[in-house]
Amino acid sequence: MDITLIKHRLLQSKLFKDSFWAVFGNGLGNALLLLAGILIARFLGKDLYGEYGVVKTTMFYIATFATFGLGYTSTKYIAQYKEIDTSRIHKLVKDSLYITLYFSSFLAVSLIIFSGILANYLNEPNLKLAFQFLGCVIIFKALTTTSIGILAGFKEFSITAKNSVMSGMFMILLCIPLTYFYGLTGSLISLLFSQVFNTLINLLAIKKLLKSYPKGESASFKFELIKFSLPVALQESSFTICNWIAILVLTKMSSTGELGVYTAASQWNSIITFVPALLSNVVLSHLSSSSVSKYQNQKTMKLMIVINFTTTFIPFVIVYALAGFISSFYGETFVGLSSVMQILTFTTIFESCSTVFKSEFIAINKAWCVFFLRFVRDIFLVVLIVVLLKLNTGENGAILYSYAVLTASILFLTTITILYLKYAKQYKTNNKG
């Protein structure tokens, strides 16, 4: 086929354009955040970075659940109503943000109240203030997640990309002086301000977009959004609670230093999977828009699986090969980082392919199936980590954690693929009938 023709088709493809912006802009933003993470790790050292990892991981896990699934649900609903009734767009956006604000505020207050108990459980009473401080970060992180979902529903991925780059630059500019002069406290302050900045620029972008849509009078979407989001929220709560427990178990049964090593390695996992992660909203938006056409739906599925696998495999090989070189930048205290990094890189391949299947199940209103599979996977992960740490008396905690995550990822992808093939076979049989 003529290369010029292929280029022309790609440039005319809305899916390609959206994917490009999601990958290029957000990829650069993630790279800036990774650089910030390396600098913070180098300034703090393994043990203090482990404490930073506990606080940051806790915040991100809770914030994921704090959206009540609106990050995905808002994408699906706005993408659909853009095609059938634009008069309801204003109400959808407003209700999505309000639900996120109410629920995240509740969780933030809960964390502030129980921060002392949590810090004492980890045998790190000095973290009480840090957990209280990050209560408000949860609210802004949750609002950012939902606002990105809203922008994805509008298919405004170029805006998300630009905002991601600006947020990454803002984080870099803050974390260097604050961490250098104020240590752990400074790194946490930079994390808070960067989340506030990210939230504000996304909300301003949404406000500008809404000016193009009519303010139609419509009933509240709150109940409908909550009803649809419930299984998605339960998925995220399962992930949040179980992975958070696993982090606490690693800290309790091993050490904050081992958590610091794992946190540093997992950052590179995020970099390897940044394309599939960024494309998740693109996939869900396009699958939701084309849900009435089974042929187009399956075509998009196959295309995105190929793209996700390819864009993960290439950086996976690079990071795996350069793990020793990369780990040298973190300092001498991060012993064993290269081995943990190499184990974790394998999980990225399975996770990236799973992302497409999860988006498809949400788009076809089978989110409860995904919740059940995620719940089983997350419980299995916690049990496996506890068993491995007990058998090894807490030694090499970061490596054992990595092996547990790899095993759980393989099992999850295998199961969700089998289930998808079963549904696809049923659809073909019903069509023939």
Average pLDDT, the chain: 79
Task: Write the DSSP symbol of residue 86.
Answer: G
Mean pLDDT of all residues in 239-249? 80
Digit-coded pLDDT (tens) for 273-286: 766 666 665 655 55
Mean pLDDT of all residues in 129-155? 84
Residue 319 pLDDT > 70:
yes
Residue 292 pLDDT > 70:
no
Mean pLDDT of all residues in 65-81? 80
pLDDT band at residue 413, thresholds of 50, 70 and 90? very high
Report pLDDT for 293. Answer: 54
Residue 62 pLDDT > 50:
yes
CA dist 426 and 424 (Å) reads: 5
For the ranges 13-27, 120-134, 244-258, 366-380, which has the lowest average pLDDT?
Answer: 13-27
pLDDT band at residue 296, thresholds of 50, 70 and 90? low
Report pLDDT for 408. Answer: 92
For the ranges 158-162, 217-221, 249-253, 386-390, which has the lowest average pLDDT?
Answer: 217-221
Name residues whose C-beta falls within 8 Å of residue 79's C-beta, 6 or more positions apart in sequence. Answer: 152, 153, 155, 284, 285, 286, 288, 289
Residue 381 pLDDT > 80:
yes
Closest CA to 386 of 255, 265, 262, 245: 245
CA dist 198 and 270 (Å) reads: 19
| CA dihedral angle for residue 270, residue 274, residue 278, residue 284, rounded to 10 degrees | -80
Mean pLDDT of all residues in 109-120? 82
Is the model more confident about 392 or about 158? Answer: 392
DSSP-derived 3-state class of residue 123: coil
CA dist 214 and 409 (Å) reads: 44
Report pLDDT for 172. Answer: 86
Closest CA to 274 of 14, 54, 56, 25: 25
pLDDT band at residue 433, thresholds of 50, 70 and 90? very low
For the ranges 45-59, 206-220, 270-284, 304-318, which has the lowest average pLDDT?
Answer: 270-284
CA dist 411 and 145 (Å) reads: 28
Residue 7 pLDDT > 60:
no
CA dist 174 and 232 (Å) reads: 34
Closest CA to 284 of 359, 227, 348, 197: 359
Q: What is the pTM of this model?
A: 0.66
